[in-house]
Amino acid sequence: MLLLLLGIIVLHVSVLVLLFVSTIVNQWLTSSVRLTDLWQNCTQGPGVLEGIHCSTSSTNEWLQSVQALMILAIIFSVLSLFLFFCQLFTLTKGGRFYLTGIFQILAGLCVMSGAAIFTVRYTDWHHPSEKLSFGFAYILAWVALPLALISGVIYVILRKRE
């Protein structure tokens, strides 16, 4: 039983790490001269001495909704982990971790919504002739989605035993 709890906690913490990295790192969209994330849009100047110029990216309403959804996903996941530890010590024998599972599933749904909005709307954000590709932080957000949903379902199924 202890090994099962340790595995569940490791899965949950890995989801949290994926969510933090995907929200913070500047690699949602990449090109030869641009790095873009949820918070800023960085372009490299034409010369070596020009350097990198970054501007904030919060002027688009759709981008603000992606930012909010990713932050909500982190909040729901942290809250879910906190609730899991609280329920672990207060739940009666045979009880299920419904509340923990619901918050973790909500975190997964927020990630899914945010990444889907970004997928549909990122073309509004750059010049059509520029070839952009999705960066690793964007991919990490999509990887966090099934892991969060699996973790949430495991919490719902899990029963407390003595």
Break the chain into its structural domains and give their ranges: 2-28+61-123+138-157
Residue 20 amino acid letter: F
Q: Give dist(CA 36, CA 57) in Å, integer.
A: 9
Q: How much is the pLDDT for 58?
A: 59
- What average pLDDT does the segment 54-64 reach? 76
- What average pLDDT does the segment 78-101 reach? 88
- What average pLDDT does the segment 48-58 reach? 65
Tell me which residue of 71, 109, 101, 72 sits closest to 84, measured CA to CA: 101
The pLDDT confidence band at residue 45, using thresholds 50, 70 and 90, is low
- What average pLDDT does the segment 69-88 reach? 94
Q: How much is the pLDDT for 55?
A: 72
How does pLDDT run across 111-144, given as a tens digit for each residue?
A: 999 999 998 887 766 666 677 788 899 999 999 9
The share of the chain scoring above pLDDT 90, in percent, equals 46
